Structure 1
Amino acid sequence: MSLLDARRVRRGPIAGINPVAKLGAAFLISAPLILTIDWVSAATALALESVLFVFAGLTWREFWLRTSPVWIAAPITAVTIALYGTTTGQIYVDWFVLRISDGSLELALATFFRVLAIGLPAVVLFVTVDPTDLADGLSQIVRLPSRFVLGALAGMRLIGLLTDDWRALSLARRARGVADAGRVRRLFGMAFALLVLSIRRASKLATAMEARGFGGHGVRTWARESRFGGREWMLLAVGAAISAVAITVSVVTGSWTFILGR
């Protein structure tokens, strides 16, 4: 994504909210849906979440591209549950290990909506999250250990280099004439070489960070202050409201099914 696209995406009302609030909102939305296996609560939550998607600042093209894995996983999971899920009620297909019944179809429908209701907000809310902003928020607001957070941030920043290293290894092997045969063996050889490069780079990075005082145990200062204000609390309230409405509708309609009592 280009810098111009990044600026355009960040114009959304939700894009500039502290990543800690986005993490909390995603948790508040998904936690109640994990406790029940009914389709009513998940469908209700998904309908309410669509409002968040509008204000996320994403174009329709980017929305579909970013969330495509969720849209692919949801029907695949539903079909699997329909074929191998709990058998109750009328049985429509009974062949070998496949058994489609009223219970499996109802569970498949609930699973389909649950995957969408849990996965879509998690993806949409974190599309515009900057890793550095998230690390600042986790350390300054959530008070997680700074050494752990900064180490994870450094690791995330280096993920993009793996692609460059893999390409460089491939070109180097091709230049030596060892990339045209034995593809399986070459794959394992390149993977091992990439692992060695990653360990060496991680060791150098750890030494450099220690030399710059990142491993200190005292009270540290931060280049950027992570703020948590009214917009963040409002997003958390919206996430809690979505869960409350979904649970209420499920209980009122008699569809609530606690996962441990299934």
Structure 2
Amino acid sequence: MSTSKSQFGIQYVDTGSALHALNGITKFIVFISWVTIVLTTFDLRIILSMVAIGLALLAVSRVPFSVYRPLLIGAVVMLSLNALFMFLLAPRQGDIYIGSQHILLSLPGDYSLSAETLFYLVTVTLKYFSMFPIALLFVFTTHPTEFAASLNKLGVPYKIAYAVSLTLRYLPEVKNDFVNIMHAQQARGIELSKKAPLFERLKNSAKILIPLLFSSLDRATDISNAMTLRGFGQHKTRTWYSQKPLTQTDWLWIGIMLLLTIAAIAKRILDNELFWYPFY
């Protein structure tokens, strides 16, 4: 994909940045460590730091902002809806976790919004969002074949490693199929733009997802048949054209992330309170 074209997509984008030069295994360990750290904490200070670092790393990757802007917007919208439903289902969850209640907005029943519940919803929403930039970074900077070769070198069976490679390669194809099906449905008069009410758009989205599912199954069958005809899986081992060794920089990244992960787990064990709340 040419970096000069600013288009939406979820796929490897070669910009030649320092992050692209890292080994695929290094980026995978960074991703897993990152997710582990996020899952072990409800400390808003740590979460905000990880959001800032994740967005900064996306900028360092030099992937055009227009490529992932729709993804960020979609993530914000979905997480905002998630926070709304969390409040509707458990309006006093923040009060219970934090152990106090200071009402900001009086509403009927249990739905009065407190400072504690608002803080809880913001913390959880940012917690989920903080994993999103690093996930995008992994996909944008990791060549699928090179990553599969690295996994195989670590002892992962090459069939599984190759399946991971195919999954990463398949992401942009899913996007292309989605766009083509959406355009076909719009040509048939199905309204999916902002002109239609929200619930009508959600209902019409099912008319995209079902054909997309069958299209994906057909494509998977074609890929399986092609691999069988080429004799894939007949041998116990295989060689990789894109395999590359771990460098000192890779080991430095791995060491730093492992230390941070251990520190995060230790902090979670030693902390007396689940949430960091500065407004008692």
Q: TM-score, normalised by structure 2?
A: 0.65
Task: Tell me which residue corresponds to 2:231.
Answer: 213
Instruction: Write the deviation string for residues 168-194 of structure 1: whole angstroms up to 9, x where unpaired.
Output: 9x97xx9xxxx579xx99x86994697
The alignment partner of 1:220 has SS state of: coil
Q: Which residue does 2:117 correspond to in 1? A: 104
Helix, strand or coil for the counterpart of 1:15? helix
Say if 1:246 and 1:117 are closer, same or farther in 2 by CA, change over 3 A: farther
C-alpha spacing 1:165/1:37, structure 2 compared with 1 (3 Å):
closer
How big is the shift at 1:42? Answer: 1.4
In structure 2, relative to structure 1, the CA distance for the partners of 1:52 and 1:153 (3 Å cut) is: closer
- Do the aligned partners of 2:41 and 2:264 also contact (CA within 8 Å) in 1? no
Q: How does 1:26-37 map to 2 (within 5 A)?
A: 26-37=31-42
Q: 1:57 to 1:82 in 2, by over 3 A?
A: same
What's the RMSD between the two structures over aligned residues? 4.3
- More relative contact order, 1 or 2 (CA 8 Å, 6+ apart): 1
Counterpart amino acid of residue 234 in structure 1: L
| Distance apart, 1:72 and its partner CA | 3.3
Amino acid at match of 1:132: T
Helix, strand or coil for the counterpart of 2:242? Answer: coil
Secondary structure in 2 matching 1:14 = helix
Which of 146, 154, 159 matches 1:147?
A: 159
- Residues 11-63 of structure 1, C-alpha deviation per residue, up to 9 Å, x if partnerless? 22112212221121122122122123232331233344455344322345446
SS of the equivalent of 2:231 reads coil
Note if 1:125 corresponds to 2:131: no
Counterpart AA for 1:144? V
**Counterpart AA for 2:237:** V
Q: Answer whether contact 2:145 2:165 (CA < 8 A) is retained.
A: yes
| Paired residues of 1:37 and 1:256 also in contact (CA < 8 A) | no
* CA separation of 1:149 and 1:128: change in aligned 2, threshold 3 A: same
CA distance in 1, matches of 2:33, 2:12: 28
For the Cα contact (< 8 Å) 1:15–1:57, is it kept in 2? no
CA contact (8 A) 1:138 1:144 kept: yes
When the two structures are aligned, how many residues end up with a matched partner? 246
Q: CA shift at 1:129, angstroms?
A: 2.2
Cα distance between partner residues in 2 of 1:16 and 1:59: 18
Unaligned ranges ≥5, structure 1: none
Q: Secondary structure at the match of 1:209?
A: helix
Bigger Cα Rg: 1
For residues 122-155 of structure 1, the C-alpha deviation after alignment (integer angstroms, 9 at most, x for no partner) is: 22333222222222222223x2222233245345
Question: How far apart, CA to CA, are the structure 2 residues paired with 1:111 and 1:77?
Answer: 10
Partner SS, residue 117 of structure 2 = helix
The aligned amino acid for 2:140 is V
Contact 2:83–2:125, Cα closer than 8 Å, also in 1: yes
In terms of mean alpha carbon deviation, does 51-60 or 219-228 score higher?
Answer: 51-60
Letter in 1 for 2:274: T
**What residue is the counterpart of 2:194 in the other structure?**
none
- Cα distance between partner residues in 2 of 1:226 and 1:205: 26
Structure 2: how far apart are the matches of 1:210 and 1:106?
A: 54
